[in-house]
């Protein structure tokens, strides 16, 4: 079994500690030795070598998945193979997943119904985006929903999704140590069949749990499988009388044992969630304490973010613990699983999330560039000033999200659509605590910061006033937290605001 110890070097990553293990592999907190920032390193199927077919499939899938970009999707920073061991690298999140100590404290169930529906809508939208690109998640649980920051009264968007298809990949091509399925698994997954509707079922289980504080299915493995097939679970209003019949019916439809009887697509499911929210009162969250431990102490003392297989059982005492990534045994026979190509072919056209296809009730992931109004910029703002021969005036884009995508694709946050040499998913800007890193997303013609040409997969920390060159575009990065803007930056701001 391939394992790593504290202080050991793997590729360019120095291991800080083990985070936990699951169906897909073992996760570590590590430090990128070149960029000196923390990352999450996951070894895929480290307990036994994978066949060549599986490894080829891993690289085909991961190449596509690495190009996916969504504000609520944890970006893939790097992936590859070292001495026969497959791995992926993602940003490290201090707070961990919804199964971490902070996750259990901040997301104590039952949640207020508007809050639960809002979180479900966020996840539904990112799942719809994944489906529109021909993939499914396949193992949606609390352990692969990460917390980027503490909930507060001003902002509720605190979750990102991670580990697309990894658990399904290992179950299909490898030999998982734990063959149990999560309690969020859809009935069809017991027969080793899955599709986009399986993700919808898993999200409906999570929504049921958030609203009631109870799992819809409990008992032995056999009892849970039978209950899922027969829709044998308590009505939501028995646990939470505040839920109305329309809200309950929405969740029940998502929990239907037959995939064809659920919503036609995740996009439809998201649309119904959004409609329900229009009839609910505004959300008010209680501020959370903002105590942040010293980073070194946080590295040494923070708890394991994932539950190891030997800690899990089919009769876990805490409901949230049964929402990790392995719990229910599938049937022994293994019919053919749906491949990514067959999933893509089966998708209805309305699942495509282009800038033109987003409904009024959804938020577009692409924000058009616009000249800033006279509203003053905050002292801690990080923003981009974009200029090109095709624009008469500079445009400005505020970096308000954890990840900001730059490219020619219609779903890019910063859309650069006047240069055909720019790749669809050209660059990624990632916020790591109080710093910003930029990555070349395997673009055709590259990214240059000042005079430095970026290397694919390696993050470059941006400094105040840095010039980013992408095609014919010049993008200037400003961040008042680093230092007071120099004269050139001040002049640029005055020109934009005039």
Question: How do residues 169-218 score in pLDDT, each as one tens digit?
Answer: 888 888 766 667 788 999 998 888 889 999 999 999 999 999 999 989 88
- Looking at the chain, how many residues does it have? 498
At 338, the pLDDT band (50, 70, 90 cuts) reads very low
Q: How confident is the model at residue 297 (pLDDT cuts 50, 70, 90)?
A: very low
Strand bridging mode 414-415 / 403-407: parallel
Q: Reduce the DSSP state of residue 160 to 3 states and report it.
A: strand
Helix axes 266-278, 196-212, angle to 10 degrees: 30
Look at residue 69 in the predicted model and tell me its pLDDT: 86
Q: Which of 286-290, 351-355, 415-419 has the largest mean confidence?
A: 415-419
pLDDT at 167 over 80: yes
Instruction: Enumerate domains of the chain plus CATH numbers.
Output: 8-278 (1.10.510.10), 382-479 (2.60.200.20)
Chain-wide mean pLDDT for the chain?
Answer: 76
pLDDT band at 117 (very low <50, low <70, confident <90, very high): very high
Q: Which of 50-54, 317-321, 364-368 has the lowest mean pLDDT?
A: 364-368
| 357 close to 365: Cβ distance less than 8 angstroms | no
Determine the Cα–Cα distance for residues 311 and 217; give it in Å rounded to an integer.
20
**Nearest-angstrom CA–CA distance, 26 and 133:** 27
pLDDT number for residue 253: 96
Dist. CA 49–CA 406, nearest whole Å: 37
Contact in structure between 369 and 376 (CB atoms under 8 Å): no
Across-strand partners of 32? 13
The per-type count for the chain, helices as H runs and strands as E runs, is 12, 19
What local confidence, expressed as pLDDT, does residue 221 receive? 82
Nearest to 157 by CA among 133, 202, 207, 121: 121
Long-range pairs for 439-444: beta carbons < 8 A, 24 or more residues apart: 439/75, 439/77, 441/66, 441/67, 441/69, 441/405, 441/407, 442/66, 442/67, 443/407, 443/470
Task: Give the number of other Cβ atoms within 10 Å of residue 223's Cβ.
Answer: 14
pLDDT at 181: 78
The percent of the chain in helix, strand and coil, each rounded to the nearest 5, is: 30, 20, 50
Selected residue with higher pLDDT from 307 and 103: 103
pLDDT band of 233, cuts 50, 70, 90: confident
């Amino acid at each position: 079994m391939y394992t790593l110890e504290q202080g050991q070097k793997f590729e360019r990553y120095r291991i800080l500690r083990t985070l936990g293990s699951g169906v897909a592999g073992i996760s570590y907190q590590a430090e990128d030795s070149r960029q000196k920032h923390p990352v999450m390193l996951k070894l895929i199927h480290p307990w036994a070598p994978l066949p060549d077919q599986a490894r080829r499939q891993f690289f085909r899938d991961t190449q596509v998945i690495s190009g996916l970009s969504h504000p609520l999707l944890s970006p893939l920073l790097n992936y590859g193979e070292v001495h026969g061991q497959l791995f992926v690298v993602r940003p490290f999140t201090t707070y961990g997943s919804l199964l971490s100590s902070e996750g259990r404290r901040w997301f104590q169930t039952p949640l207020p119904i508007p809050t639960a529906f809002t979180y479900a809508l966020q996840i539904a939208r990112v799942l719809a985006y994944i489906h529109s690109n021909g993939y499914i998640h396949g193992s949606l649980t609390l352990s692969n929903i990460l917390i980027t920051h503490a909930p507060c009264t001003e902002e509720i968007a605190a979750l990102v999704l991670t580990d697309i298809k990894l658990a399904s990949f290992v179950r299909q091509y490898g030999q998982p140590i734990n063959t149990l399925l999560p309690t969020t698994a859809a009935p069809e997954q017991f027969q080793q069949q899955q599709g986009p509707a399986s993700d919808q079922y898993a999200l409906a289980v999570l929504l049921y749990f958030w609203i009631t504080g109870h799992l819809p299915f409990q008992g032995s493995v056999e009892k849970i499988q039978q209950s899922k097939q027969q829709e044998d679970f308590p009505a939501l209003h028995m646990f939470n009388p505040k839920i109305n019949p329309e809200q309950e019916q929405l969740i029940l439809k998502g929990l239907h044992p037959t995939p064809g009887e659920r919503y036609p697509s995740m996009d439809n499911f998201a649309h119904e969630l959004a409609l329900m929210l229009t009839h609910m009162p505004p959300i008010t969250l209680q501020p959370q304490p903002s105590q942040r431990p010293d980073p070194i102490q946080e590295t040494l003392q923070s708890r394991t973010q994932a539950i190891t297989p030997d800690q899990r059982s089919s009769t876990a005492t805490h409901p949230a613990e049964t929402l990790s990534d392995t719990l229910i045994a599938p049937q022994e026979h293994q019919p053919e699983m749906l491949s990514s190509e067959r999933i893509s072919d089966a998708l209805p056209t309305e699942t495509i999330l282009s800038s033109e296809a987003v409904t009024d009730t959804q938020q577009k992931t692409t924000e058009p560039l616009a000249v800033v109004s006279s509203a003053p910029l905050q002292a801690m703002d990080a923003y981009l000033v974009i200029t090109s021969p095709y624009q008469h005036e500079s445009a400005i884009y505020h970096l308000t999200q954890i990840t900001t995508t730059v490219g020619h694709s219609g779903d890019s946050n910063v859309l650069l659509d006047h240069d055909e040499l720019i790749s669809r998913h050209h660059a990624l800007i990632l916020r790591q605590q109080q710093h910003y890193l930029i990555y070349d997303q395997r673009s055709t013609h590259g990214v240059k910061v000042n005079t430095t040409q970026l290397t694919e997969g390696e993050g470059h920390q941006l400094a105040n006033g840095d010039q980013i060159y992408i095609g014919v575009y010049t993008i200037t990065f400003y961040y008042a937290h680093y230092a007071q803007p120099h004269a050139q930056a001040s002049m640029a701001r005055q020109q934009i605001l005039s």
